[in-house]
Structure 1
Amino acid sequence: MLFNKVYVGEAVENTLQIQYFVIQRENFYGIGLEEATERGILCDYEYFTEEQEEALEVAKMLQQGSVTLTSMTEILDDYIQ
């Protein structure tokens, strides 16, 4: 599976370094989060829109709130509803 990933920014929460991305696969856009710790890197990607600007807006919102992987899916579900 190939997709485009564009860096949006990062945040630091406790010992986590979190990077935020807008992702694109075909005509679908979403967000990606990558958390780096001393044990490794965890990541998750969620597609939710056909609008690139909407994905960028959500990625910036998540970055400003220092959202982590633990809460990303719940926050994204609330946003979509």
Structure 2
Amino acid sequence: MMNLNVIAIDLAKNNYQVCKIGQDRQVIYNKEVSRQKLLQLLASEKQSLVAMESFGGTHYWARKAKEAGNMV
């Protein structure tokens, strides 16, 4: 498997729970972010593997993560 950070996103309506796990499998952060902050976070992170639950907005967020250079 590729050595990437993993960003796990728990999708919701307005605020999202985001957990980043490093290559050494240690939690880097686990925080709640707004919709706008999530867009900024995806754009500012180095290439990561983004994992999300299946939800009505999953495809939207997958496209945004891919546009920012991440794998989904």
TM-score w.r.t. length of structure 1: 0.36
Q: Which has the higher contact order (CA 8 A, sep 6+)?
A: 2
Q: Which has the higher strand share?
A: 1
